[in-house]
Amino acid sequence: MADATAPITRIAISLPSSLLAEVDALVQAENRNRSEFVRAAMRMYIRAKRRRELLQSMEKGYLSLGDLNLELAAENLDEAWDLYEAFLAEGVEGQ
């Protein structure tokens, strides 16, 4: 989040009049000014974009790990099955 003590830079933006009317209605309803509104909207957009990027990165990682897990499972399936059968046999004998 931006530093509250950071210097302020003025910018000019162009908006369709209908969008500005919606913004002005919200600004008035929330007892804010346009600058506060635009700053909040920009922060929300940046947070949402970072979140989307993080989720996409996580999804990509999980998918690549999924392939690796399938490969490892296939390589060790016979050994795992033997261990499972031995475990079951011990359970039956122990009863």
pLDDT digit string, tens, across residues 3-54: 678 899 999 999 999 999 999 999 999 999 999 999 999 999 999 999 999 9
Is the pTM for the entire model greater than 0.95? no
Render 55-91 in DSSP notation, one character per residue.
HHHHHHHHHHHHHHHHHHHHHTHHHHHHHHHHHHHHH
